[in-house]
Homo-oligomer: A and B are copies of this chain.
Amino acid sequence: MYSFLNDYSEGAHPLVLDALIHTNSEQTVGYGCDVYCQKAKEVILKRIQNQNADVHFLVGGTQTNMTFISYVLRDYQAVIASDEGHINVHETGSIEATGHKVITKPHQEGKITVEMIQALLSEHTDEHMVQPVMVYISQTTELGSYYTLKELQTLYAFTREKGLYLFLDGARLGSSLVLEDAPNMAEIAANVDAFYIGGTKMGAMFGEALVIINDNLKKDFRFQMKQKGAMLAKGRLLGVQFYALLKDSLYEDIGRHENEMAMIIKQAFEEKGYSLYVPSFTNQIFVDLDSNIIQAIEKEFMVTHIKKINEKKERIRIVTSWATPVEEATKFAELIRTL
């Protein structure tokens, strides 16, 4: 049965796998100090048009969030997220495990707004409360929406004004890069203090590339990585993969494909009059459906149950990936139209 459960159901994109195969027998030094990590770093610096950024390669998303956020915050400081932020709900308290509170407001279509941040700042005023110093956002968001360039610029102008750092979790970054009004990689780099380029959910076997723009957040970060178990011995595996993904347009090609597959499905829902929970132009679709419709879908496809909405309706999630065949997306859309 074909799975739309997530975008990490398969191994690596064939071109990424090839790169791993072709470099497998070479000897390199460990821990990310090898020539492949260097090459991947150079490609990233060129893409972001900033030769001064630091680039580090880590293995997974929770690990990257936890390692970097705990690095930035002093003991009594907190990170701001939306209530649906990945760090708030789906990382088993990994931020808190490093000693820090995640403070939240309810999301606006999956996103954080200036008003939400301002409200949290107003509520945290003295030493009896944590001190907010960083805002965490995701591109694309956990609900499939995305920040336009303009929205990102607005957020960054505000966070700079307030002395906050802005950190963008790009686990599914590629999916946004191909959207017209979304920021490209250089625009992102110009409007955050740090961000990461997701690999795991974008065709890599595993891996995330953390890009640190703000000079204040760079010193001795490798110590933090090692301590948090986030420094891969065979670090070159990460360099090889990111070089393969980013040297040409593979990363964007993957993003475009998965969006297209999702739009095939979305269109079918819209034709049938089902509106999505949050408007989506990316590879995640959340929709509230009657149980009998979900049952019909699940005779042919695997999807994720998110939440019971009421007696009859449940919210499900459909995720497409680099590996989703047009045939399966089309089959899914056709099924919807028959229900």
Contact = CB atoms under 8 A, between A and B. Distances in A.
A10 B240 CA distance: 13
Interface string A243-281: 000000000000000000000000000000000000000
A78 B93 contact: yes
Contacts of A28: 9
Contacts of A131: 220, 223
Nearest to A88: B101
Contact of A229 (B24, B76, B229): B229
Nearest to A8: B233
Contacts of A222: 127
A148 interface: no
- Which 8 pairs, one residue from A and one from B, show the smallest C-beta to C-beta distance? A63-B229, A11-B24, A76-B223, A92-B227, A93-B130, A93-B101, A92-B226, A127-B222
25 contacts: A5-B29, A5-B30, A6-B30, A9-B27, A9-B29, A11-B234, A14-B24, A61-B233, A67-B229, A70-B75, A91-B227, A92-B129, A93-B129, A93-B227, A94-B226, A94-B228, A96-B99, A97-B100, A97-B228, A127-B223, A127-B231, A200-B234, A205-B234, A205-B237, A228-B228
